Structure formats: C-alpha cells, structure tokens
A and B are shown apart, each in its own frame.
Chain A
Amino acid sequence: MGDRHGQVHLRRPGGPVRTMRRFATRHPVWTAILAVIAALLLWMIFAVWPDGFEEVFGRKKVFLNALFNGITLGGLYFLVASGFTLIFGLMRNVNLAHGSLYLLGGYVGYFAADITGFWLLAFPIAFVVVGFFGIMLQILVFRRMEGEDLRQTLVTIGISIVVADLMLWGFGGDFYNISPPEWLSGPMSTFFVTAVKSSGEPVFMKYPMVRIVIFAASVVVGVAMWLALNKTRIGMMIRAGVDDRDMLSATGARIQIVFVGVFAFGAGLAGIAGVVGGTFQSIAPGEDIRFLLASLVVVIVGGMGSIPGAALGALLIGLAEQFGSVYFPTYAVVLTFLIMVIVLAFRPQGLLGKA
C-alpha cells in the first residue's frame, strides 16, 4: 500500500497535550473541577495529614496503600483489557474466551517459572504459548464467522466453558502462586511520608517491590503500544483498519496478516497478564470469569477499541475496587458495576470511545 492512500482515512488524533487543551477550552467548568480534585489528591498523597483529617479518612497509611494497590491493580487490568479492546477495535471480534487466555497464561507461566527456575522466563513463554492459542482461535474460529457477532460470542462462550473445564481437569482446583525472585521480593521504601513520629522523624511508606516493578512494566507496555499504534507503519495500518477495514484491504494491505498479528499480540498480552496476576494474587478456577468481567467493565467504561480508554478505565476500576474494599468493604464489587452503569447512562460509547 502507498502512503498517500493510507493518509486518506487516517484520523489524526492529535497529541495528548492538544487533546487536553481542546477539552479545557470546551468544558471550562469540568476542567476546573478536575483540577481541584487533582490538587486535593496530590496534597493528600504528599502532605502529612492533620489530626482532624485522619479521623474522617482513617490513617494515611491505609489511604496510600489503597491508592497504590488500586493503581497497580489498574496496571494488571490494563494488561488484560488492552488486548481485549485492541482485538475488538480492529476486528469487531468479541472474544469472551479472553478470561480463559488470562488463566491459561497464568498456568503456563507458573509451570515455566517452576521448571526453568527463572521468573522472567515465564513472561515470554506465556506470551508465545497463549499468543499461539490466540492465532488458532483467530484462524479456526473467527475467520470462519466474520461479521457474525452473535455467533462469535456464543462460540467463544462455548470455548471458555470447555477450556475452563479442561484446565480444571488438568490443574485441579488448587490455588497456584507464582513466587517472584529474591531480588524482587520484600518491601521497598518510598519517599511518601505516612506519618511523623513524636520525635519529629518522618515515617516513610513501604511497598512491595514486585508490585511497583510490574506496574512500571505495564506502563512501559502501554506507552509502547501507544507509540507503536501512533508512530509506526504497522500501527498506521491497524488504525486505518479500525476506521475502515474494507478500504484498507482495497489499498492492498495484507489485512489477514495484520489481523492474525494483532490477535496473537492481544492474546499474548492476556497471557502475560496471567503471569502478573499469578504473582500479584493467585490463579485458580473462576479467575477467568473474574478477569473477563473486569476487562468487560474496563472497556465499557473506557470506550471499546480505545487503548487510552482501556488505561483510564483500568485505573478507575482498580482504584474503585481498592478504595471500595477499604472504605466500604461490603459493596466493593458492586461499586465497579455502579461506575459502569453511570458511564453507560450518560456516555454509552465509554469515556474515551468514539461517538
């Protein structure tokens, strides 16, 4: 395909700075409210809390922990949901077996780490194995029923039932926990002050090293995906495919290869997320449905097919889950769905979705 053809239907989204400036000029009140909230949050994170404040919100350590847990959980959700949203955005394929891919990745990663003894090796192995599984899905299932949304959904539900039972058969109902290597285990001191001792010496917050590293990795993955989508030729083809698939294939792009590649990449990301989830928490039967639901909620909130939307949605849902479990523990799970319902009621296409 020639570049001049590709340009025709490419919508230049503009850089993040320009988008923010446009938002600020269009909705000055909302911008002001958001700025106040951001300033308040920053103050809550960095300042030493006065006594009256602690009575309302509890101890600062609890708050900071919830914040950090929420952000890192959001990173995990982002890893799962970005693959889902990428596949949906490009191919309009709803892959309800995405949760199964996550769980499969977790098991593969567990055994890879267990057998080789290298935690880091679990990631590429899970990526390749699950990505291969995704390729099989794309070729054997989705390519045969292109454009038949309902059938794809039903078939992937069927696949997830079968795969879930096969995994239960193979791995049993036990909890598997991937243990991170020595150099990652244990807490890390951060520069956030949680309290001040009576001697005037500040107490710094400690946080598990592995969570921070994994979160940083998911940020790197996210930024790399954004760059790849917006700055490379393949990314341009993918974005063009999202906007108008038929036109892209008419320009001579090998669209089926792009499809297989994106599907493999999205599935592989779910596999990596499985390893991350297995290190963060644990993997067990039922986690597939949990993460499928989480990624559904994330992409519905953030906007189907949008990578920044997935990031925003994942962050929101992760924070809501963690703050919910700290401040009103009974209905923490319901809170995430409540967010989804509110978003749906006022912005059905999702926060960053296209109208």
Chain B
Amino acid sequence: MVAMPESDARSEKKPPQWVENTPPAYWVLGILLLIVPTFASNFVMFQIMGWTFILGLIALSLMFLGGYGGMVSLAQMAFAGFCGYMIAIFGNSAVEGISQGWPWWLVIPLALFLTMLFATLVGWLAVRTEGIYTIMITLAIAAAFFYFARQNYEVFNGFQGFNSVLPPELFGVDWRGPVAFYYLTLFWAVAGYAAVLYVSRAPFGLALQGVRDNPRRMAALGYNVTAHRVAAYAFAALIAGIGGILLTWQSAQISPGTISIQAAIDVLVIAVIGGLRHPIGAFIGAFIFVLLKTFAVDVLIALGLGGERFNLLIGIGFLIIVFWSPDGLLGLWEKLRDSRKRDPLTGKGVE
C-alpha cells in the first residue's frame, strides 16, 4: 500500500512483494475496519468511528509537523476550520447571503488550495521561531483566527457560522448516511496515513527529519531549511484541510466553536496521547479521545462525580501520559515490548 516495489519476473505466480511485507496486524486491522458496518450500529459508525478518523486526520497533520518536522503547531485546528469555512463560503449552506453555491468540484480544490496558502503564510511566520516559541506563536495565531471568525459577519458570519453545509450527492449516494460516511472517512484516513508514511520516506521527508535533528548541518549541506519547514506546513495543512471538510460535513455546520482554543488544545492532546513518533499514534489518540468524550459522562456519573468533570478526567489522563511517557501510548507500548524481550536476569535482549 505504501511502497510498491516493481514486481520482478519471479514473483509472477507468487503474490506481489508488498503483500508479504505488510505485517499481519495490518491485515487484521484492515479487514476489521472494512467489515465494521456489518456489526456496528449507525451511532458507532457515524459518530464514533467517523469522528475518530476525522480527528485522527487533523492530529495526523500535527504529528507530521511535530514528529518529522520538530515543529509543534497548535494552528492545525485553525487550518481545518479554515478549510471548513471555505467549503461553506464558496459552496452551499443555509446562509444564502454569503455562500456562493459553486459546484463541489470547484469548491473543494479551491478550499484546499486556500488552506495551504493560509498555512504557508502562517508557516512562514512560525518557522522564524523555534521550539516552544513555535507553540506559542501558533497558539496566538489560532486564537486570532478564532476571534476574527467570531467577529467578522461579512465573510465568516460571526458567532453563528454556517449551518446546513452538506456534502455533494455524488454517484447518487447520500454521503452523510452512516455507512457511506464511515467509508468516506475511512478512505481519507487511510489515504492520509499512507501519504504521511510515504512522504516520511521520500527525499523530502528524510530531509525534513534531517532539518529537525540538526538544522545547521542541513543548511551546511545545501538544503534550504526554511523552505522545507514551510513546505511541511503546507503539506500538513492539506491533511488538516481534508479533516476539516469532513468535520464540517459530519456536523453539517461550521462555527467559531469548532476552532476555539479548547479545540486547538484538544488536537494537541490527541496527538500527544497517541504518540508523535508514528502516524498511527494520531488515530490511536483520536480513538481514545472520542471514546472518552462519548462515554466519560457515563463513567463519571457512575463514579458519582457528575458529567461535567470531563475535562478533569482528560486533563489528568493527559498529564499522566506526558509525565511518564513523553512518547504517548506508542512509547508505552514500545517500552512494554522491549521489557518483554529482555531477559529478566541479565537485562540483555533475547532474540
């Protein structure tokens, strides 16, 4: 799925090499995800899985920037929301005074293009800084966009935002139907995951990781450090933008609440809970976050705490994870695997 080596003459009768190279866990997970609609309820498909894939995509864009580029950006939710707004402004919504009602095949590429443009500008500003400064600057930019969208009534329709932003009825399918939406989000989640894995092994991704590890050396080798970083912002914004479009379609609306500071921090929480080391972490984190967000109220009430203490639960969980395992759940998993492989007496690895 990711790297498809050319099949040589010998493998004509055997399955192609990538089939053998893919670990069994991928096959199990892939088949399981494909057959989810046969046993899951509509709520699970649309709300839980759909939302997981969408948030996973947005967190994936943060994972790409943070994990491979070393730039932790809190503006990813702003990019996603920006793309959702563009869909609503150029496409159809209930706010007819603003929405242009252009056809989807024009609106979607345009929205993604504008999002990448926006991200390039933000990236150009943000890469002038490093490390923690980047976090603060992107947080401030996300906040600025949130306030701007909330105050601007001419283009962003202020506090209300846009409602009835629906996906086009392509091939006669209602893409907001639970099964159709499930496969739609699954497709884009897999595509985003594959794209990030591919880019991370492509020359650009390798150079980006080099820039993350030692910018001065990369500059001395003749790489344009700033250009690589800004391009990483643009690529990440493409993924976030796709997530933003799906998010807008899922709730059929986009409003300043979608891009609030809380939401920006949620994306960071998701990416960090999962782990910034590997793209799958974004989806693991999103799955846990969605499960918590959906069922925490029941758990909290069962504990006698009252449902509104959700943030406390997620905050403590987040704290525990970042305190003890900076690489998130993936890091915990790796630690566990390493300790299993180790001989308890000598402490050396056993093959």
Instruction: Report A's interface with B, CB cutoff 8 A.
Output: 94, 148-155, 157-159, 161-162, 164-166, 169, 289, 293, 296-297, 300, 304, 330-331, 333-334, 337-338, 340-341, 344-345, 348
Contact = CB atoms under 8 A, between A and B. Distances in A.
Per CB-CB distance, the 7 closest pairs between chain A and chain B, nearest first, are A337-B144, A161-B315, A158-B319, A162-B315, A333-B147, A165-B311, A165-B312
A150 B309 contact: no
A169 B269 CA distance: 22
Contact of B322 (A154, A169, A345): A154
B143 to A, nearest CB: 5
A281 B75 CA distance: 29
A169 B309 contact: yes
A331 B149 CA distance: 10
A330 B129 contact: no
Nearest to A161: B315
B136 A296 contact: yes
B315 A155 contact: no
11 contacts: A154-B318, A154-B322, A155-B323, A161-B318, A289-B261, A296-B139, A296-B140, A300-B133, A331-B151, A345-B125, A348-B129
Chain A interface, >50% SS class: helix
B344 to A, nearest CB: 28
B151 A166 contact: no
Contacts of A297: 140
B314 interface: yes
Chain B interface, >50% SS class: helix
Contacts of B265: 157, 161
A344 B140 CA distance: 12
B220 interface: no
Contacts of B318: 154, 157-158, 161
B135 interface: yes
Nearest to A155: B322
A154 B135 CA distance: 10
Given A154-B322, A158-B316, A162-B311, 16 more contacts: A149-B132, A150-B132, A154-B268, A157-B265, A157-B269, A159-B319, A165-B311, A293-B261, A296-B139, A297-B140, A334-B147, A337-B143, A341-B125, A341-B141, A344-B129, A344-B137
B125 A150 contact: no
A333 B151 contact: yes
Contacts of A151: 322, 326
B309 to A, nearest CB: 7
Nearest to B276: A150
A271 to B, nearest CB: 21
B152 interface: yes
Contacts of A345: 125, 128
Nearest to A154: B322
B311 A158 contact: no
A291 to B, nearest CB: 12
B272 A334 contact: no
Contact of A337 (B133, B140, B322): B140
A158 B151 contact: no
Nearest to B154: A330
Contacts of B316: 158, 162
Given A157-B265, A158-B322, A293-B139, A165 B131 contact: no
A340 B155 CA distance: 23
Interface string B250-281: 00000000000100010011001000000000
Contact of A330 (B137, B152, B312, B315): B152
A337 B141 contact: yes
B234 interface: no
A300 B132 CA distance: 12
